[in-house]
Structure 1
Amino acid sequence: MFDVFGSVKGLLKLDSVCIDNNVFRLHYKATVIILIAFSLLVTSRQYIGDPIDCIVDEIPLAVMDTYCWIYSTFTIPNRLVGRVGKDVVQAGVASHVDGQDEVKYHKYYQWVCFVLFFQAILFYVPRYLWKTWEGGRIKMLVLDLNCPVVGDECKDSRKKLLVDYFHTNLHTQNFYAFRFFICEVLNFIIVVGQIFFMDFFLDGEFSTYGSDVVSFTEMEPEERVDPMARVFPKVTKCTFHKYGPSGTVQKFDGLCVLPLNIVNEKIYVFLWFWFMILSILSGISLIYRMAALVVFQNRFQTNATEI
């Protein structure tokens, strides 16, 4: 397991000089680490096994696995409901009638690792922009004040230089602060946009996924319809089409097991809660920032009027 997550340990490095705030770091550090770790996890077969295993007669199993992985599998949503031990229900893969029973195809699992990595890149974009715009200015101004080997007299003189610099250039750094505010707004847009993106990716299931899972645990066993089984089914069906000896198309129904979805369902439950908490914290941070700007403007105008 250390080999899987060892490649992201470099992201845990703490900066010697802080140029942002805690909420900002939750976006580009904590969230990026989480998404990359999950992306690596779903591609690690040594812990999960084959992502798909199908059973069917007259078709080689390796061919069936590859075919169903590429062309997707399906479930029958109306067969997910049933009484345990009485109704013949197996994760929505009971026999169905073509044209009458609704069929839901599942194609997302091929893209989960790529989507998670793409999301990690998006969350790092504001950090990259801010580092580019900031240009190491704060680190230059600190002048090794955070270094323990520097003497107190040297620190005091450098602190005085730093105070003089801010006093002289107090009103010339507005654009610098404005660009940081842009990055904070971009963080909020990205996290909210990611929620809508994952809702689209999972066919409209993500927006209520976490709350549905919580509600599911509070229901009676005989009334439960597992939302994780609906979104991430572990047992599905796949139809293989093959030309017979006379040239007619023969259909072979196969039963497929998706061990990877055992991990996927937990990943997206965690991401639902994480993204909701992160979006709330980002919204509060923006409100605080705007309130601080309004108070500063009012205070500045009041002081100018009094003068």
Structure 2
Amino acid sequence: MFKTFDPVKSLLTLDDVCIDNIVFKLHYKATFVLLMSFSILVSATQYFGDPINCLADVIPPKIMNTYCWIHSTFTLPEKNGIPGRSVVQPGVSIHVEDSDQVKLHKNYQWVCFALFCQALLFYVPRYLWLISEGGKIKMLMAFSNKPYTSDKDKAKNNKLLVDYFIANLHSHNLYAYRFFVCEILNFLNVFLQMYAVDVFLGGEFSRYGLEVINFTEMDQYERIDPMTRVFPKLTKCTFPKYGPSGSVEKHDGLCVLALNVVNEKVYVFLWFWLWFLAAVSAVNLLYRVCACTGVNFRRQIFRARSRLNAKREVDEVFNGCRIGDWFVLSQFSKNAEPLTYKHLITDLVKEMQAGEFV
């Protein structure tokens, strides 16, 4: 079974250079891998049997299975009761045409494709950021990560970094704003996904997780499993067929949807995960708003990242930077060795004092 997930193993590797943050990674790495794994899982029929098995009196099983898979199955929402007594299963009972309310179930054919499309949407902001970032941080790390054979080489490479920052001082705002826009896209994408899944499941996803929690607290003889309502394991299917006299005969069949045993658990997990992701993304956006609007807030963050430097040096560099420069230095500090970053800040102070940057 583990070989089934070989395609997603490479996605779990960490990047050599970090160009985003942990919340961003939860979107394009953790969520992307989860959704791709779920998509592979629900399409691996060898572990769960045939996705649909239908039983009808006179219709050959293969024809019935194919027909019901293509044309969907249905349940009767008003026909609830104790399974095995008043009904076979909740929603499965004698169907009186034109009088019983019918609920069609069409989503089981498309679950693997829906999960795959969701995974791609979670990767879109990452892809846009990769294009916009253009390898800037990787280029800076190429300067700082060069092997030093002497103090002279170390000073030379450090000067390359300082020269870059001085030459491009006050020109990084657009770079930072592009990242902030991608963070907003991540946040909006979560709610777009929730709405899309809710539509896909016929309006059942918005309260799906809460209903599952409430279900576990109810008396076992009175409760109706919400997972069975959204992803029924036993449904009905009607096959129309010409009779001996040329009239249309309708044959009722019972269909077992074995794959829904997996689908229901996948979407329960997905409900909690998307709400967790929305909460974390909201906190991250609040942090970003504070960083963009609060100068003192940015100053405290900069001091925390530059804790090896003297407070005077840190404040002098910060006062000479705009928000884009602050953001690039913050990104660089995530990847550089502490001593390399310390020397960069110290040398930047000297260059700024000499050039009188403000």
Flag whether TM exceeds 0.5 (same fold).
yes
Say if 1:144 and 1:150, in contact at 8 Å, map to a contact too: no
Counterpart residue number, 1:138:
137
**Alignment partners' CA distance in 1, 2:42 and 2:292:** 44
Decide which structure has the larger Cα Rg and report it.
Answer: 2
Say if 1:79 and 1:89, in contact at 8 Å, map to a contact too: no
**Alignment partners' CA distance in 1, 2:279 and 2:85:** 44
Counterpart residue number, 1:111:
110
Shift of residue 220, structure 1, vs aligned partner: 0.9
Counterpart residue number, 1:46:
46
Shift of residue 197, structure 1, vs aligned partner: 0.3
**Distance of aligned partners of 1:40 and 1:87 in 2 relative to their CA distance in 1, 3 Å threshold:** same
**Alignment partners' CA distance in 2, 1:287 and 1:38:** 31
Say if 1:91 and 1:234, in contact at 8 Å, map to a contact too: no
Counterpart residue number, 1:27:
27
**Alignment partners' CA distance in 2, 1:280 and 1:36:** 22
**Alignment root-mean-square deviation, CA:** 2.2
**Distance of aligned partners of 1:152 and 1:133 in 2 relative to their CA distance in 1, 3 Å threshold:** farther
Instruction: State the identity %.
Output: 59
The one-letter amino acid paired with 1:38 is F
Shift of residue 223, structure 1, vs aligned partner: 1.7
Deviations 1:84-124 (A, max 9, x none): 66533413111132222211000011111111111111111
Give matches, 1:176-195, under 5 Å: 176-195=175-194
Matched, 1:217 2:198: no
The one-letter amino acid paired with 1:128 is Y
**Distance of aligned partners of 1:157 and 1:56 in 2 relative to their CA distance in 1, 3 Å threshold:** same
Counterpart residue number, 2:312:
none
Say if 2:243 and 2:249, in contact at 8 Å, map to a contact too: yes
Shift of residue 13, structure 1, vs aligned partner: 1.6
SS in 1 for 2:54: strand
Counterpart residue number, 2:70:
70
**Alignment partners' CA distance in 2, 1:85 and 1:240:** 24
The one-letter amino acid paired with 2:243 is G
Q: How many residues are aligned here? A: 301
Give matches, 1:103-252, under 5 Å: 103-143=102-142, 145-146=144-145, 150=148, 153=151, 154-155=153-154, 157-252=156-251
Deviations 1:51-75 (A, max 9, x none): 0000001111000000000000000
**Distance of aligned partners of 1:244 and 1:168 in 2 relative to their CA distance in 1, 3 Å threshold:** same
Unaligned runs of 5+ in 1: none
**Alignment partners' CA distance in 2, 1:89 and 1:111:** 26
Counterpart residue number, 1:257:
256
Shift of residue 48, structure 1, vs aligned partner: 0.9
**Alignment partners' CA distance in 2, 1:170 and 1:164:** 10
Unaligned runs of 5+ in 2: 300-318, 321-357
Shift of residue 158, structure 1, vs aligned partner: 3.1
**Alignment partners' CA distance in 1, 2:83 and 2:298:** 67
More off after superposition, 87-96 vs 214-223: 87-96
Deviations 1:214-240 (A, max 9, x none): 110011112211000000000000000
**Alignment partners' CA distance in 2, 1:182 and 1:174:** 12
SS in 2 for 1:236: strand
**Distance of aligned partners of 1:39 and 1:210 in 2 relative to their CA distance in 1, 3 Å threshold:** same
**Distance of aligned partners of 1:269 and 1:88 in 2 relative to their CA distance in 1, 3 Å threshold:** same
The one-letter amino acid paired with 1:4 is T
Shift of residue 7, structure 1, vs aligned partner: 0.8
Counterpart residue number, 2:313:
none
**Distance of aligned partners of 1:299 and 1:62 in 2 relative to their CA distance in 1, 3 Å threshold:** closer
